[in-house]
């Protein structure tokens, strides 16, 4: 249990004991409190007062499966709100096994140098000059870093987009094969890292000083039961390894909620060509991997390796949200083009979702025709090169909308929606509008409820309650470090029960299911408190006008949630 605190102004690094008040917290929940306590809410997100926090989940260093997420937090330059964005890979697990509760990056240097934070196998931190990595893309950055520090390291790093301070810049995280293909993509946290002049953190993978468990035997039992529940769950057992998250394309499209051609249609003409089924076929034929373990401690194996016609690696992992943003939204129906765009974004260090949506907004504004894959690649390449247009695009859909004077910009608090149109899925409208994070599917996605028929996506009734419940649950999931794709197991009694037992065995606590609900509410309230201090009010918890005014085919519905209902969602 230690904080590694890095002052980029003085270049001093120190290890701190975790203050009592933060003990028993991790990931998103810890970030919510730390940001509230240490970051002035009105500060410039790219100024010295902001702090960038890397925190594994509470169960990050343990043997519980699928808890290797690394949560990254700061005040977001994209949304202006508090922001937590988490990534898979190996970094969160490595941090947990070194007993690191959080790495806190603060201050800001004067010059234009660049640094790398190295944390060795004893958990000792060191800040190292690394100006030779300037403007390097992420794949090359990781190669250079592993060359220098050895293969047994996890890396989080930024690409040129983060160095340039672009508001859609991501932080990339290495997977089990040391590829920076996992991303904390949302909220422009890569720009915050760039503003701190920090190119990368290199964390030794060989740590074995994880925090002690209050009851190791009970923990092992709980962990075994939890893994069993994950293995039993049809979603994580069948759908995910077969198609990955791309398995969602067919059902979302058939629900008429797959935002296409910059959210002017809810069904994509070429959906079959970019579906999870088509992708699995293609990868199989070309000798790629339709499933593999991308993240530490993962037993779901949703990840894939997309290869080109000659069987050469293009990207990993090609997922639903990227196929949607770079495919459906832009009208591009070629998986090869989409995979190339995914890899480009990872390499440049920019959010695939914001970027795909920004490209779609530009196309909708008449800049290029929908479906023009070569144009999309050229546009994204401009981000990497830092041309004037590239920088505008890299600042996300709102900026590109302003540039073209275009009104149809599907963002909330400046951040793009995800691949679920709020007009066809009214509960996701509630989540987009009210989440303290801006539009974000991982904050409370109701797609499982819709696909399983538990909730009618077009009716108003029940949506606010479902969004609230999902947002509360996700706040907990993101604090424990659990992967969102393992989280459906929590709706099964045995999964939920094993999960709580694991937490209790870790903390020596006696939490009940209601305690987790309280935890989630407390986290959301802390996040909302920060946003209030930063100047946000209920009036900001709204979708853009066109979602209320332009009916989405084929259902021809608009968002029908009232302002009063929106305001009740998180008003605990």
Binding site for a second copy (CB under 8 A): 42, 44, 46-47, 164-165, 195, 387-389, 391-392, 395, 402-403, 405, 407, 535-537, 539-540, 545
Q: In the bound complex, what is the minimum distance in angstroms from residue 271's beta carbon to a second copy?
A: 30
Output the smallest distance, CB 53 to a second copy, in A.
22
- 162 or 457: whose CB is closer to a second copy? 162
Whole-number minimum distance, CB 497 to a second copy, in Å?
44
Bridge partners of 54? Answer: 72, 103
Q: Which is nearer to a second copy, 20 or 537 (CB)?
A: 537
Of 150 and 535, the one with the shorter C-beta distance to a second copy is 535
Minimum CB–partner distance for residue 357 and a second copy (Å): 18
Q: Give least dist CB 539 to a second copy, A.
A: 5
Q: Which residue's CB is nearer to a second copy, number 513 or number 535?
A: 535
Distance in Å, CB of 110 to a second copy, minimum: 10
The tokens describing 307, both together, are 């290869």
What's the order of all strands across the beta sheet hosting 171-173? Answer: 125-129, 115-119, 198-204, 153-157, 171-173, 182-184
Q: Which is nearer to a second copy, 309 or 402 (CB)?
A: 402
> Which residue's CB is nearer to a second copy, number 24 or number 165?
165
Cis peptide preceding 540, ω within 30 of 0 = no
Which positions ≥6 away from 279 have C-beta within 8 Å?
243, 244, 246, 290, 304, 306, 318, 323, 335
Nearer to a second copy, 147 or 388 (CB): 388
Residue 104 DSSP label: E
Q: Which is nearer to a second copy, 83 or 118 (CB)?
A: 83
* Placement of tokens 């209601």 in the chain: 514
How many residues in total does the chain contain?
A: 572
Shortest gap between Cβ of 406 and a second copy (angstroms)? 10
Q: How far is the CB of 165 from a second copy (least distance, A)?
A: 4
Distance (Å) of CA 264 to CA 168, 256, 423, 433, 549: 23, 11, 11, 19, 12
Structure tokens at 116: 């790398």
Enclosing H/E stretch for 195: helix 189-195
Q: Which residues touch 185 (CB under 8 Å, ≥6 apart)?
A: 85, 87, 170, 351, 352, 353, 354
- In this structure, how many other beta carbons lie within 10 angstroms of the beta carbon of residue 512? 11
Q: Which is nearer to a second copy, 508 or 535 (CB)?
A: 535
Minimum distance of a second copy from residue 381's CB (angstroms): 15
Beta-strand pair 198-204/182-184: unpaired
Strands 182-184 and 171-173, by their bridges, are antiparallel
**Which residues on neighbouring strands pair with residue 265, listed in sequence order?**
260
Give the chain's radius of gyration (CA, Å): 21
């Amino acid at each position: 249990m230690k904080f590694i605190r890095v002052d980029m102004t003085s270049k001093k690094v120190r290890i701190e004991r975790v203050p009592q008040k933060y003990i028993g917290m991790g990931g998103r929940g810890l970030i919510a409190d730390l940001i509230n306590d240490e970051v002035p809410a009105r500060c410039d997100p790219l100024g010295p007062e902001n702090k960038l926090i890397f925190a594994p989940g509470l169960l990050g260093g343990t043997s519980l499966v699928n808890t290797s997420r690394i949560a990254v937090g700061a005040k977001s330059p994209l949304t202006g709100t508090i922001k937590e964005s988490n990534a898979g890979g190996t970094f969160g697990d490595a941090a947990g096994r070194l007993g690191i509760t959080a790495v806190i990056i603060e201050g800001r240097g004067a010059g234009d140098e660049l640094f790398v934070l190295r944390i060795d196998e004893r958990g000792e931190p060191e800040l190292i000059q690394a100006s030779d990595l300037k403007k390097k893309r992420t794949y090359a950055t990781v190669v250079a870093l592993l060359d220098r520090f050895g293969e047994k390291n996890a890396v989080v790093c930024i690409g040129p987009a983060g160095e340039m301070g672009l508001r859609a810049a991501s932080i990339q995280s290495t997977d089990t094969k040391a590829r920076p293909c996992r991303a904390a993509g949302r909220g422009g946290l890569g720009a915050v890292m760039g503003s701190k002049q920090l190119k990368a953190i290199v964390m030794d993978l060989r740590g074995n000083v994880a925090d002690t468990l209050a009851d190791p035997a009970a923990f092992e039992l709980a962990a075994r039961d939890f893994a069993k529940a994950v293995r039993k769950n049809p979603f994580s057992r069948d759908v995910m390894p077969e198609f990955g998250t791309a398995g969602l394309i067919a059902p979302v499209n058939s629900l008429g909620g797959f935002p296409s051609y910059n959210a002017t249609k809810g069904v994509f003409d070429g959906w079959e060509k970019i579906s999870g089924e088509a992708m699995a076929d293609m990868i199989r034929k070309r000798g790629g991997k339709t499933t593999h373990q991308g993240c530490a401690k993962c037993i779901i194996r949703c990840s894939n390796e997309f290869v080109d016609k000659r069987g050469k690696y293009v990207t990993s992992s090609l997922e639903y949200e990227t196929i949607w943003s770079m495919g459906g939204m832009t009208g591009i129906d070629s998986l090869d083009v989409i995979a190339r765009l995914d890899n480009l974004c990872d390499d440049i260090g920019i959010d695939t979702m914001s970027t795909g949506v920004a490209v779609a907004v530009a196309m909708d504004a008449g800049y290029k025709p929908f479906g023009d894959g070569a144009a999309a690649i050229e546009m994204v390449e401009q981000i990497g090169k830092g041309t004037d247009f590239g920088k505008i695009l890299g600042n996300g859909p709102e900026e590109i909308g302003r540039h073209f004077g275009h009104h149809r910009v599907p963002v909330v608090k400046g951040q793009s929606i995800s691949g679920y149109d709020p007009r066809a899925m009214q509960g996701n409208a509630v989540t987009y509008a009210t989440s303290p994070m801006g539009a974000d599917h991982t904050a409370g996605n109701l797609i499982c409820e819709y696909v399983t028929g538990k909730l009618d996506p077009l009716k108003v009734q029940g949506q606010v309650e479902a969004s609230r419940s999902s947002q509360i649950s996700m706040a907990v999931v993101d604090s424990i470090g659990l992967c969102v794709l393992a989280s459906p197991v929590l709706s099964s009694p045995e999964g939920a029960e094993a999960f709580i037992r694991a937490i209790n065995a870790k903390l020596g606590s006696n939490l009940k299911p209601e305690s987790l609900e309280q935890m989630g509410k407390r986290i959301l309230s802390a996040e909302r408190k920060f946003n209030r201090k930063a100047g946000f009010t209920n009036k900001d918890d709204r979708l853009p006008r066109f979602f209320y005014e332009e009916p989405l085919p084929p259902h021809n519905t608009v968002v029908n949630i009232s302002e009063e209902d929106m305001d009740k969602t998180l008003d605990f």
